[in-house]
Structure formats: structure tokens, C-alpha cells
């Protein structure tokens, strides 16, 4: 309990960063393999089927962010919006993950997954002149009027899945301190009238 209040960073606080590192490694290795072995696509039919025609690999490179937003913006605007701001968010999330002792285990690991995904795409934005490598294409079979979901990568998947887990856990999780604090609050009125 003493570590919880004095700001000491423990090994347990740093464990989720193993997930962050694993995501960055998987993301960068997969992108390197895609760049090495898959030519940039010209047509959707150039895709390499992985799971029938449901999931395919097809190489694209994106100077923008999700759904190619900002791809045509000036380079200075892209650097600020797609490197500086995401880097600040990753740093903030990392500090929050280590310092906030009220996060549940799921929240800590979900934050670490978001950090890993964010770093994976940041590496591309900094190191690849052609932008972020995307390669996973999912057939939507016309659902919502779309033939294919926008092409993505492992880092994008990590940010999305872990973001959803984080939001859901924030809705349903209450820290032990908030639960015990409710019963210990002397100003709280008992609804039973006692």
C-alpha cells in the first residue's frame, strides 16, 4: 500500500510495456515483410487472399491517418498533426499508465496496447518517406454500402481493439478506492432512511 501513495514505480507498473514492445515489434516486422515481398497494389484484384476472399493482404502506403485523412495536406501540417501530437499522446498515456494506481489490470494493458500501436505507426511516419504501410484488407460484402473496410495494419488494430477495451472497462470498472470511499463517506445519506 505504501507504494501506491508515494509515487514509487514498481516492476508491476512497467509490465504492460512488454505488450507495447511486442506490438511495435510485430507491427514493424510485418510491415518490413510486406514491403519486401508485396508490390504496391494497382487494383483490388492484386490482393493476396489470406482467409478466402474475406481477409487479404495488399500493400498501400498512407501519408495521412485513418481513412487517408490529411494525405494531401502540406508536409509541415502532416508533421505537426501526425507526428508531434501523436507523440505527445503516447508520452502522456505512458506516464498515466505508470503513475495512476487506480487503473484496473485491463485498463493498464489496454493503455499499453494503445501506446504500442501508436508507436508502431509513429515509426513509419518518421522513418518512411512514403508514409505508414497498410496491408490488411477486409471484405465487407457490401455492408453499409462498402465493398472493403479501409486497409489497415497491426498497429491500427491494436489501437482500435485496445481503445474499445479501455472505453468499455472505464464504463464498467470502479476502483476499489471509489467503492470503499462510498461506504465510508460520512455525508452520504442512506437511501433506506436509517
pLDDT tens per residue across span 52-106: 999 999 999 887 776 667 777 777 777 778 888 889 999 999 999 999 989 999 9
The three cell numbers of residue 192 are 433506506
DSSP H helical ranges for 38-74: none
Catalytic status, residue 134: yes
- Residue 135 is predicted with a pLDDT of 95
pLDDT of residue 17: 97
For 136, the 3-state DSSP assignment is strand
Q: What is the mean pLDDT of the chain?
A: 84
CB burial of residue 121 (10 Å; 0-12, 13-18, 19+):
buried
Q: Rg of the Cα trace of the chain?
A: 21
Position 2 pLDDT exceeds 50: no
Asked if 186 and 51 touch (Cβ cutoff 8 Å), the reply is no
Helix orientation angle between 17-37 and 105-127, rounded to the nearest 10 degrees: 40
Please give the residue that has the higher pLDDT: either 22 or 39: 22
Active site residue 190: no
pLDDT tens sequence across 112-132:
999 999 999 999 999 988 889
| Among 100, 156, 185, 190, the one annotated catalytic | 156
Considering 13, 100, 134, 185, which one is annotated as catalytic?
134
pTM (predicted TM-score): 0.80
Amino acid at each position: 500500500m505504501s507504494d501506491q501513495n508515494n509515487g514509487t514505480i514498481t516492476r508491476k507498473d512497467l509490465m504492460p510495456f512488454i505488450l507495447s514492445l511486442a506490438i511495435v515489434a510485430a507491427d514493424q516486422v510485418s510491415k518490413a515483410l510486406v514491403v519486401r515481398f508485396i508490390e504496391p497494389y494497382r487494383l483490388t484484384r492484386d490482393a493476396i487472399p489470406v482467409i478466402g476472399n474475406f481477409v487479404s493482404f495488399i500493400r498501400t502506403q498512407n501519408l495521412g491517418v485513418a481513412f487517408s485523412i490529411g494525405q494531401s495536406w502540406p508536409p509541415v501540417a502532416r508533421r505537426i498533426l501526425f507526428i508531434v501530437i501523436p507523440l505527445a499522446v503516447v508520452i502522456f498515456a505512458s506516464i498515466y499508465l505508470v503513475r495512476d494506481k487506480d487503473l484496473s489490470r485491463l485498463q493498464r494493458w489496454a493503455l499499453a496496447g494503445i501506446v504500442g500501436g501508436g508507436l508502431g505507426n509513429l515509426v513509419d511516419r518518421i522513418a518512411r518517406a512514403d508514409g505508414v504501410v497498410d496491408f490488411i484488407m477486409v471484405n465487407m460484402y457490401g455492408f453499409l454500402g462498402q465493398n472493403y473496410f479501409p486497409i489497415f495494419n497491426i498497429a491500427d488494430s491494436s489501437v482500435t481493439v485496445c481503445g474499445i477495451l479501455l472505453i468499455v472497462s472505464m464504463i464498467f470498472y470502479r476502483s476499489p478506492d471509489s467503492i470503499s470511499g462510498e461506504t465510508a463517506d460520512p455525508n452520504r445519506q442512506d437511501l433506506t432512511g436509517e
